Amino acid sequence: MSRFQASDTVGRIVASSPPTSRVFEAHAIDYCCGGGVALAQACAKRGLAVTGILEELERAGAASGPAEDLTRLGLRDLVDRILSVHHAFVKRELPRLSGLLEKVVGVHGARHAALLPPFARLWGDVAPALLQHLEKEEEMLFPWIVALDERRLPAEIARSLDAPIAMMEAEHDEAGAIFERMRALANGYLAPADACGSWRALWSGLDEFELDLHRHVHLENHVLFPLVRARVERPPV
């Protein structure tokens, strides 16, 4: 029997079998911010045959062996994973990429005026916004979620968690839209013929950064936040 169905949401498929994210990445199917749509709808939007994608998903899941179902983790474990893997990556890579971009714009910006200065402006918008986003999660939302997991969060705060979660989801959408514009502007991060080593390193790093962001947002939007909402609606006895 097939593990996945055309009616399953894209986000749920990746939550239950993380290796399937590679299939969605290969076909430019959004499984993070847009992961709430059914697979059939996502395939139709991209002009893809859902039967073929289902076969690829089955192969991806089988080839990787038994996958960890992240939905079975506790809230604290999910928060710890997000902090240690994804927040740490963002904090490490943002300064490095910002330095590379400044260097590349300084050297190549005049010759590539239609690409690099507009790209730098987009990065200038999204980079500080991402850091502010992490700060809000680390200082406010995540401590509340951990307290909820440990049954020490006041009921009135637990009932109000949906508002900050909705704010984080909206910010995920905003960041995703900017990165989509950046990728389009950069021609899928295909370096031009006259790109120097720093430029190629920058494009490679941004490609990797966006991929991690997709996985980061997916883990929050389609695993952590639904579990929090379910816990608030149906507290454990």
Can you tell me the distance from the alpha carbon of 116 to that of 108, in angstroms, rounded to the nearest whole number? Answer: 8
pTM: 0.82
- Residues 96, 193 within the same domain: yes
Higher pLDDT, 200 or 66: 200
- Residues 91, 45 within the same domain: no
- Residues 207, 174 within the same domain: yes
Entry field: residues in the chain: 237
- Residues 41, 85 within the same domain: no
CB-based contact 33:215 (threshold 8 Å): no
Does the residue 2 lie in any domain?
no
Per-residue pLDDT band for 25 (boundaries 50, 70, 90) equals confident
- Residues 136, 198 within the same domain: yes
Mean pLDDT, the chain, rounded, equals 91
Quote the pLDDT of residue 1: 52
**For residue 222, which of 160, 168, 153, 177 has the smallest C-alpha distance?**
168
Does the residue 5 lie in any domain?
no
Domain that holds residue 193: 72-233
CB-based contact 42:10 (threshold 8 Å): yes
End-of-domain residue from the set 40, 63, 86? 63
Does the residue 144 lie in any domain?
yes
CB-based contact 127:95 (threshold 8 Å): no
- Residues 130, 209 within the same domain: yes
Per the structure, the count of domains in the chain is 2
- Residues 29, 99 within the same domain: no
- Residues 186, 211 within the same domain: yes
Q: What is the pLDDT of residues 149-190, one digit of tens each?
A: 999 999 888 889 999 999 999 999 999 999 999 999 999 999
Does the residue 3 lie in any domain?
no
